[in-house]
Homo-oligomer: A and B are copies of this chain.
Amino acid sequence: MTRKVVVIGAGFAGLQLVKDLKGADCEITLIDQRNHHLFQPLLYQVATTLLATSEIAWPIRRLMRRRKDVTTLLATVVGIDRAGREVILKSGARVPFDILVIATGARHAYFGNDQWEKDAPGLKTLEDATTIRRRLLLAFERAEVTEDEAERGALLTFAVIGAGPTGVELVGIIAELAQHVLPQEFRHIDTRKSRIMLIEAGPRILSAFPQGLSDYAAHSLGRHGVEVRTGIPVTAVSEDGIVLGDQPIPARTVIWAAGVQASPAAEWLGVEADRAGRVVVGDHLALPDDPAIFVIGDTAHVVSDGRPVPGVAPAAKQQGVHVARVIRARLADRPEPAAFRYHGIGNLATIGRNAAIIDFGRVRLKGRLAWWVWGIAHIYFLIGTRSRLAVALSWLWSFLARQNTARLITQKETLRDTD
């Protein structure tokens, strides 16, 4: 009889897996707690008013409409009954499986300081992005009306904690906003005087890149008016701002880009996890003691060629591809493929307008050319002609007209916050 494959999570890993199972002899149930697949590499642009939410997210049902073998379920998973072979939903309903693939991703982590989240939101979901967008825009609005000098200073101080690609990309656009997009629009403040800080506890920014490229990035951010502070940990975060080492810095807008914590998959399964909460998996990305339960993407601790596989989209997709192969082989009683190996394509990061760095190993690019390569690559990886056109249009506009098109404050909080 047809085997039941249940996939939890429609991110890069889960979606790739389902795509590659097309035509296989199984019934697939794809469960996600949101109704959309999100193109996370561009989420920071939604948070910083460059892109609209609908430009980087697609209804999962829509993507699966022609796959009659796939049933999409909008639901939240709260547990897994390994003995009974069932996924347990928040509603109490249970979804039986023969083969289970967990691709539930990660959230940002505060290293035991969860109380910081309220004042230093992270960036993983569309809600995170619109929350950060709202705070960013309201800070300028409040600075415009306040009579209090010190308060104005705190409102015009923006601190991004964590200098990985996301942190760097965030400060890049915030600087662009303050320097070029907003100045004309305010009458009482000069947004160009904003203090935009990128804070990194480690010795340098973009530590995944070669020294040369990360030096270039730091220099380039400096020219964009960003204050880069490395080698100093943030010791406290509150509604007043942050404490850097022992120096308090009043800041009304603080964004967290410093760390991630895997989804609670390990708890669901009752298995070993690494420090980041990722499930430790074997050669075929399945549980060592249960080959029918796979864990892939940011939820999995995967080692390839003796090195841990990074939590990036290409890695997640490659894992989806591999597990699809393994499942197909098993369904057809064919021998399983060789163990998973990660093929790193390269690292990319943008640094605001006209600058980016790319590390393809042998080939390294920086500056304007890298920026164009970065943009074209990302448009290529978007889903569907329509999104590509829409994103290209938005980028063209902010590039030519220096107008960011997604500058709406829609949450109800607007009123409370400003009055």
Binding site for B on A (CB under 8 A): 33-36, 52-55, 57, 59, 61-62, 64-66, 68, 71-76, 89-91, 93, 126-127, 130, 137, 141, 145, 182, 184-188, 386-387, 389-390, 393, 397, 401, 403, 405-412, 414-415, 418-419
Q: How far is the CB of A377 from chain B (nearest CB, A)?
A: 22
CA distance A89 to B419 in the complex (A): 7
Across-interface contacts of A33 in B (CB, < 8 A):
414-415
CA distance A52 to B415 in the complex (A): 22
CA distance A87 to B401 in the complex (A): 35
CA distance A62 to B403 in the complex (A): 8
CA distance A55 to B52 in the complex (A): 9
Across-interface contacts of A401 in B (CB, < 8 A):
386
Across-interface contacts of A126 in B (CB, < 8 A):
408, 410
Across-interface contacts of A91 in B (CB, < 8 A):
145, 418-419
Across-interface contacts of A141 in B (CB, < 8 A):
35, 74
Q: How far is the CB of A111 from chain B (nearest CB, A)?
A: 25
Count of this chain's copies in the oligomeric assembly? 2
Enumerate 29 A-B pairs (CB-CB under 8 Å) in ascending A order: A35-B141, A35-B408, A35-B409, A52-B52, A52-B54, A53-B410, A57-B408, A59-B185, A59-B407, A61-B185, A64-B185, A68-B187, A72-B187, A74-B141, A74-B145, A74-B414, A74-B418, A75-B418, A75-B419, A90-B415, A90-B419, A91-B418, A127-B410, A127-B411, A127-B412, A130-B410, A386-B393, A386-B405, A390-B405
Across-interface contacts of A61 in B (CB, < 8 A):
182, 185-186
Which residue of chain B has its CB nearest to the CB of A401?
B386
Report if A76-B415 is in contact (Cβ < 8 Å); known contacts: A52-B54, A386-B403: yes
B184 touches A65 (CB 8 A): yes
CA distance A64 to B59 in the complex (A): 36
Across-interface contacts of A187 in B (CB, < 8 A):
68, 71-72
CA distance A414 to B62 in the complex (A): 18
Which residue of chain B has its CB nearest to the CB of A389?
B393
Q: How far is the CB of A121 from chain B (nearest CB, A)?
A: 13
Across-interface contacts of A73 in B (CB, < 8 A):
145
Which residue of chain B has its CB nearest to the CB of A181?
B62
CA distance A415 to B78 in the complex (A): 12
Q: How far is the CB of A36 from chain B (nearest CB, A)?
A: 5
Q: How far is the CB of A242 from chain B (nearest CB, A)?
A: 26
Which residue of chain B has its CB nearest to the CB of A137?
B35
CA distance A185 to B73 in the complex (A): 11
Report if A145-B93 is in contact (Cβ < 8 Å); known contacts: A35-B409, A54-B52, A386-B397: yes
A414 touches B34 (CB 8 A): yes
CA distance A71 to B65 in the complex (A): 49
B145 touches A75 (CB 8 A): yes
A407 touches B185 (CB 8 A): no
CA distance A406 to B408 in the complex (A): 16
Q: How far is the CB of A187 from chain B (nearest CB, A)?
A: 5
Query: 3 closest A-B pairs (Cβ-Cβ)?
Result: A90-B419, A61-B185, A65-B184
Across-interface contacts of A36 in B (CB, < 8 A):
407-409
Q: How far is the CB of A246 from chain B (nearest CB, A)?
A: 35
CA distance A91 to B142 in the complex (A): 11
